[in-house]
Amino acid sequence: MADIVALTGATGFIGGHVAAALLDAGWRLRVLVRGAPPAALAAAPAVTLVRGALDDPASLRELVSGAAAVVHLAGVVKARRRHEFFAVNRDGVARLLDAVGPGAPRLVLLSSLAAREPGVSAYAASKRAGDAVLAERGDGLAWTILRPPVVYGPGDRNTLAFFRAVARGIGPLLAPEAARVSCLHVGDLAGAVVALLGAGEATHGETYEIADGEPGGYGWRRLIEIAASHLGTRPRIVRVPRSLLGAAARINALVGLAAGLATMLSPDKVREIGHLDWVCRDSGLNEAVGWRPQVSVARGFASTIDWYRREKWL
């Protein structure tokens, strides 16, 4: 009988792809769910659902009991206040470690490249704090931290606005020309998780930045050009002044706060967008487990756009 992977965040964009990749690799899954799970996940015979949340210690103990590995994907990328990021992205890691206990199985934590620059935003600081919790309390665990950059692919809502703008003939330059970013297709990220779980303790105590292998990453203008080539448009490049973007973010954040909703566009997000260096330079995972990214941005954008069109999102 296949070993069990305890998985958090399986109902999200990245989590859905990781769950599918683990099932394809022959793992059984025990999945933490708060609400109604996707139909495909609920119907899979190799999946056991555990009702609960990261702030429910009993459900976390049930989740990890007897598991051969734990993959922690759950987190928040938007919140109304700073402490709400930390309550999930830091304290969720701590509670999971409480449930796992010492001498537990393999543990993979999905962090973010933003954790490299904790002073940029509350999100970045909370992800760095979650990484620190695992590093400080990980004695006796075979743990690994993954820090991906921009993750995109079928099912992603966060990059949809970018593709919609280019489809409508607008190429928004939200960052300076000098800004560079790495990218990673969600399928390659899922493949990295699978590779890690098959590597035993070869990556114990390591933190890896992972991306699609493009040296030096991408400029925003280049990403617009690639998207346009698959959308069949010739977008007009529109440079959005940081002052204007910042003003829109402040208004958006105030409206969200009044409505009790977390919004993606915030002053913190503007600082993240304007940061000049979101390039992954770490090839350690490639060397440690033989993982190699398979999907270029050109190919990945094409498949993502096709999916958006099939789902009538674009």
pLDDT of residue 102: 65
pLDDT tens-digit profile of 51-84? 999 999 999 999 999 999 999 999 999 988 999 9
Cα four-point dihedral sign 293, 299, 305, 311: negative
pTM score, whole prediction: 0.93
Q: Provide the H-helix boundaries in the chain.
A: 13-24, 39-43, 57-64, 82-89, 91-100, 122-137, 160-167, 186-197, 220-231, 242-259, 267-274, 284-289, 297-310
pLDDT in tens, 19-39: 999 999 999 999 999 988 888
Among residues 20, 22, 24, the alpha carbon closest in space to that of 4 is found at 22
Domain definitions of the chain by residue range:
4-151+184-211+280-294
Residue 136 one-letter amino acid: E
pLDDT tens readout for residues 142-159? 899 999 999 999 999 989
CATH topology for 4-151+184-211+280-294 is Rossmann fold (3.40.50)
Task: Please give the backbone phi and psi of residue 74, each rounded to the nearest 5 degrees, phi first.
Answer: -65, 140
Tally of residues, the chain: 314
Task: Please provide the average confidence, as pLDDT, over all residues in the chain.
Answer: 91
Higher pLDDT, 258 or 116: 116
Going by pLDDT thresholds of 50, 70 and 90, the confidence category of residue 244 is confident
- Residue found by looking up tokens 């109902």 in the block: 11
In the predicted model, is pLDDT for residue 249 greater than 80? Answer: no
Average pLDDT of the residues in 282-308: 92
